[in-house]
Structure 1
Amino acid sequence: RGFNVCPSGRTVVITRIDENHVTYSAFTPGTEELSAYATLLKVDEDKFETAQRIRVENNACENLYLDLEKGTLNGLPMNASQKDVRSALPCFTGDSPDGAEYNCGGGVFYLNHDFYFYSGQDYIEVRKNFRGELSQSILDKTTAEIEALLGFPERSEEVKKWDGTQRIHYFYPRKYGCLSLVFINRKVHKVALHSTSIQETQLCY
């Protein structure tokens, strides 16, 4: 209430977080970029009020930099709070509460820039379409190129997903915990910085 939930000409997505909260996202037609976002709180059986003020989105997360040695993205550590992440990087497209049983334990997500703060498990992930820079250019590198650059991993796993996709996971120790790489078709598809050690880090799909 208090705003037009279906703005003319826009694609609107309502996502249920839990029994009391939903998220509202409006996307610009054609480009499908996020134009507005809000979290809504249930006030009775069929009405919601804004728990967070709707914000016009400009997708202006610029100069993104993932530091593989420090374990930070634009200076934000892996254990940064959701509030700090949203404040520093306001171009997020979705979130879910820490401790959630979905979205790998909750976090703040940036689909338009292809990076994800999983604050529920204290790790940062960037994917192949990340709109930023890494301190080492390892996205889209082959397994052979990674082994030449970083050496052989301390831990590796091969996982076959439900759709038949074969994934290879490499894990490297770091002072902050560990660095993990996900290969699809023998090329790096995901890079993640974990606050946990190699032995403690669990895969999430």
Structure 2
Amino acid sequence: MEVALRVLIYVGTGDAVARLSVERAARQSNCELTPDPDTAEVLLLPLSDEADRARISQVRAQNPRATLIAHTMVQDQDLWVSAERAGADRIENSGGLVVLLRRLAREFESGPQRQRMVPLCSVGDVAGRLGILACVQHEIGELLLIKGQGKPVCLVGPCPHAAGSLANALIEDGVMTCPEHGSQFAIDTGERTRGPADEGLQQLRVVEEDGKYWVVAAP
């Protein structure tokens, strides 16, 4: 008889009520709590202020492959976006932790988890614009959402020559020029077209979903 694998969950909260809810849900579903965030498949962290957002970033750096869920009772869209950019895969209501864990167990049984995505900006806010639409600082680097003649692309800065920011780079005729030392890169591919940089920029896949542009940051 085949036995289903249990989902390892790290609960990073000191809230006794929340912890009891998670423990109860774990007993009722195919989940198991672990005190080690490095080995967990799911990271469940509270979100109420910027200190929690910083904790999310720290735990994400420890375990970049886990599904990180921030739970909150705070209705603050800016804080939510900040948490997503810090590494949260999604934001959930703290009042539904039991239901959430049961759903997670079913999701893990059904197959691979969703790719990790980082929000860049709202589609409506940049409609009709060209050039650098958004620049988001992330653990990966500068996530530069750029639009030329085709669909938006995401290139990862800073400049590989001397780590200069590309947030204010000049874009002309499909080429981005570093404002510090003049290195140039093709905006559609990130390929280096002129030094002193000796390599190009990494390109990440852009997804349009829920009225936002997202970048696929990790598998």
TM-score, scaled to structure 2: 0.30
Determine which structure has the larger helix proportion and give its number.
Answer: 2
Determine which structure has the larger strand proportion and give its number.
Answer: 1
Q: Whose Rg is larger?
A: 2
